[in-house]
Chain A
Amino acid sequence: MRAAAGSGATPMLEAQDIARHFDVSKPVLQRLIAREGRRTLRAVDGLSFDIPKGTTLSLVGESGCGKSTVARLVVGLYGTTRGTVLFDGQDLSQARADSTQRSRMQMIFQDPYASLNPRWRVVDIVAEPIRAFGLLKDRKAILARVGELLTQVGLSPLDGQKYPHEFSGGQRQRISIARALSSNPEFLVCDEPTSALDVSVQAQILNLMKELQQRLGLTYLFISHNLAVVRQVSDRIGVMYLGKLVELAPAESLFERPRHPYTRALMEAIPDLEMTGRQRIPVGGEVPSPISPPPGCTFHPRCPLANARCRVEVPVMKPALDAMVACHAVEEGRG
C-alpha cells in the first residue's frame, strides 16, 4: 500500500503535521485572582499519515489519546491549529467549501442512540444527505434510493416508515451507515462504530462494513480502542498516545512485531480467550493528563525501557523496516 502511494496515486486523505489545541483556561477573573496563566490542552499534537484509496487506516489508543479529535479534524468538524489536511490532493478547507467534494466524505458516530434524530422517520434520516446535497429531486426517486440503501445495509425498505426507537442498537448503527452511504461517499470516517454494541452485533456490523468496502471501493479511517476489532478491518494501524502517533505500521506487521513499548504494553494488556488462566503483566501507572504531559517522551513514566534521553528529548517518527516508530529505545536498538 505504501508502494501504491509512492507510485504517484493521490491518497484519499493526507494529514501533514496536524495539531489541534483547546484552550481550557479558567475564566479571566479567576485566572487573575489565582495569578495563573492560560492552559492549553494539546489533544492532537503533530500527526502525519496518509490513507491510500480503497484501504483502511485505523487509529487506536486509550481514552484521551486524541483519536476522536483526529476523526473530527479530517472531516472538518474541527479546524486545525496547525498543519494541513489534503482530501484527494485538495486542501480540506477548499474541499469543504465545495458541496460535491463534501459529499464524498461522511462520518459514522459511536452512539447510535444519540446520532439519529428521534423525531424523524428513518426514511427522512437516510434521505437527509440526498436532499442536503440536492443529489435527487424527485420524491419517488429519493424513496427508491432510500429503499435501496436500507436493503444494502440489511434492513427492509419498509423500515423507512419507522422511528429510530423501534430499532435495536445494531439496527440503528445500520441506519447510520445507510445515511452515511446515501451521498455516495468514497471516504468514511468511523469513530468507534461498534463499541456501543454487543459482541454478536458488532460482528454483524464489522462484516457489513467490510462487504461494503469491497463492493463500493470505500476508504475508511477507523477509530477504535479495541485492538482485536482493528486487526479484523485494517490495512494499516496507527497507535496514538497523548495526542501523538507512537507507531504506524501495516496491520499484520504491527501484530507480529509490535515495536513501540506502548504498543507492546497495549497488546499485553488485552484479555484474550486463548489466555485462559494465564497471568498477565499489566502496564503500570495511568495515562498522564494531556494538559501537563511529562517532558521528553510522554510515555517515559510508564515505559520499562526509559532512560535519561527519553526524559528530556521528544522522539520523532522514524522508519523501522516497514513501520514508523517514535521511540529512542527502538532507534538505539535497546528495544
Chain B
Amino acid sequence: MSLLQVKNLRVEFPTRRGTLVALDDVSFEIAPGEVLGVVGESGAGKSMTGAAIIGLLEPPGRIASGQVLLEGRRIDNLPYEKMRRIRGREIGAIFQDPLTTLNPLYTIGRQLVETITTHLPVGPGEAREKAIGWLELVGIPAARERIDSYPHEFSGGMRQRVVIALALCAEPKLIVADEPTTALDVSIQAQVIAMLKTLAREKGTAMMLVTHDMGVIAETADRVAVMYAGRISEIGPVRELVRHARHPYSQGLMGSIPPLDRRVERLTQIDGAMPRLSAIPRGCAFNPRCPKVFDRCLVERPELLDAGTTRASCWLYAEGGAA
C-alpha cells in the first residue's frame, strides 16, 4: 500500500476579487522508501502541495476538496493539535532556508533533544546520545563537542545538515523537503543530496522532494511530477521524464535546461510565461504556449492520461486525439 496518497486535492485562496484556485485536482501516491520529485516553475504550486500535505497552508489558503491519506488514514481534516503531533513524528519537513527553521536562541542539542523526547519514548540522556548519533550521521564533524553550539556558530551547509537531522530524528515515515539544497553552494549541495539519498534508502523513508533543479531530481528521485499552473501536467519514472517527456510542457522544460556536457547554439525556449492564478486560460492551462495546440485544448481541460511509460494531462494522448 502507498504510504502517502493525495487524492484530487484542491487548494483555494479566497480574495476580495474572487477565489483563486492554487491547486486543482492534484493526485499522486508515494510508496515507502520512494523519492518523488516535484518540479515546475515558481508559482506552479509545488511548495503549496508540500504545505497542504503537512497542514501548513498559509491562511487564507485552505483545502477546498480532496483528501490526503497517510497509511490509509485521512490527515487533511485533523484538528491542529493532532496534526502537530503527526508533523515531526510521522512526517518530517525540511525547508529551504536553514536559518529560519532553527531557533537561534537554543543550542542545536536542545532542539534535537526536545524533538526526540516529544515524539519518542526516551529519556533526556538517551535522547542526547541519539541526537549525537544523528549529527554524526548527517556528517557534522566532532558532533559530541558541537552539539552544544548555537545555530549561528555553524556555516550554511552545516546548518542545513542540522535541519535535516532535526527532520529525521523522530524517525518519520515521510519527509517533505522543499528546496532543501537551493540555498547551498554546489559542492555542499552534492554532499547534502548524497546524504539524503543514503538516509532514505537505509531507513526506508519516503520523500517528497520539491525543487526547481532538474539535476537534483534526476539524481535523487525515483519518480517525478511536473507541475504547471496548479496541476500535475505529467508524472512518471525519472528516466522516462528526463529522456522522453511526453507532455509538450515537460519537453520544453527539459530542453531549456542548459546541458553541462556540450554547448548548444540556442537553448529550447518556451515562449511566454506561466499564467497568473487569476487568469488561467480555459481548456488546458498550457494552450497559449503550446506548440502542438489544437481545438480540443482550447475548450476542455485534460485529465492525466496514459502516455506510454508516463501519465500526461495532454489531449495528444487521448483516444482519437490528434496524435
B260 on the A face (CB < 8 A)? yes
The answer to whether B258 and A228 touch across the interface, beta carbons within 8 angstroms, is yes
* Set A170, A202, A226: member contacting B273, Cβ < 8 A: A170
The answer to whether A273 and B214 touch across the interface, beta carbons within 8 angstroms, is yes
* Set A198, A210, A266, A273: member contacting B42, Cβ < 8 A: A198
Which of B26-34, B169-177, B187-195 binds A?
B187-195
* B234 → A minimal CB distance (Å): 15
The answer to whether A271 and B258 touch across the interface, beta carbons within 8 angstroms, is no
Residues in A with CB closer than 8 Å to B187 are 62, 265-266, 269, 282-283, 286-287
**A228–B262 alpha-carbon span in the complex (Å):** 9
* Set B185, B189, B267: member contacting A203, Cβ < 8 A: B267
**A63–B182 alpha-carbon span in the complex (Å):** 13
B253 on the A face (CB < 8 A)? yes
* A200 → B minimal CB distance (Å): 4
Interface CB pairs A-B, < 8 A, 21: A168-B273, A171-B273, A198-B212, A199-B257, A203-B257, A203-B267, A203-B268, A206-B267, A227-B186, A251-B263, A265-B187, A270-B186, A272-B215, A272-B219, A274-B261, A276-B218, A278-B219, A280-B219, A282-B191, A286-B187, A287-B185
**A83–B237 alpha-carbon span in the complex (Å):** 54
- Contacts A232-B264, A271-B193, A282-B191 hold; do A276 and B185 have CB atoms under 8 A apart? no
The answer to whether B194 and A282 touch across the interface, beta carbons within 8 angstroms, is yes
* Top 4 closest pairs, chain A to chain B, by CB: A271-B215, A203-B256, A282-B190, A269-B190
The answer to whether A228 and B259 touch across the interface, beta carbons within 8 angstroms, is yes
Chain A contact residues, majority secondary structure: helix
The answer to whether A273 and B239 touch across the interface, beta carbons within 8 angstroms, is no
* A112 → B minimal CB distance (Å): 13
Residues in A with CB closer than 8 Å to B262 are 231
A204 on the B face (CB < 8 A)? yes
The answer to whether A273 and B155 touch across the interface, beta carbons within 8 angstroms, is no
B82 on the A face (CB < 8 A)? no
A93 on the B face (CB < 8 A)? no
* A302 → B minimal CB distance (Å): 8
The answer to whether A199 and B273 touch across the interface, beta carbons within 8 angstroms, is no
B202 on the A face (CB < 8 A)? no
**A201–B108 alpha-carbon span in the complex (Å):** 39
Residues in B with CB closer than 8 Å to A228 are 257-260
- Size of chain B's interface in residues, with CB distance under 8 A? 45
A residues with a Cβ closer than 8 A to B are: 62-63, 168-171, 198-204, 206-207, 210, 225-229, 231-232, 251-252, 255, 265-280, 282-284, 286-287
* A232 → B minimal CB distance (Å): 5
Q: Closest B residue to A167 by CB, please name it.
A: B273
B12 on the A face (CB < 8 A)? no
Residues in A with CB closer than 8 Å to B261 are 255, 272, 274
Q: Closest B residue to A204 by CB, please name it.
A: B269
The answer to whether B254 and A273 touch across the interface, beta carbons within 8 angstroms, is yes
B242 on the A face (CB < 8 A)? yes
**A23–B163 alpha-carbon span in the complex (Å):** 33
Residues in A with CB closer than 8 Å to B252 are 200
Residues in B with CB closer than 8 Å to A270 are 186, 190, 215, 260
**A170–B188 alpha-carbon span in the complex (Å):** 28
Residues in A with CB closer than 8 Å to B41 are 198-201
The answer to whether A62 and B214 touch across the interface, beta carbons within 8 angstroms, is no
* Set A232, A271, A283: member contacting B267, Cβ < 8 A: A232
- Contacts A203-B268, A271-B190, A282-B187 hold; do A276 and B238 have CB atoms under 8 A apart? yes
Residues in B with CB closer than 8 Å to A171 are 273
* B261 → A minimal CB distance (Å): 7
Residues in A with CB closer than 8 Å to B257 are 199, 203, 228, 273
A interface footprint on B118-130 (CB within 8 Å = 1, 0 otherwise): 0000000000000
**A280–B271 alpha-carbon span in the complex (Å):** 34
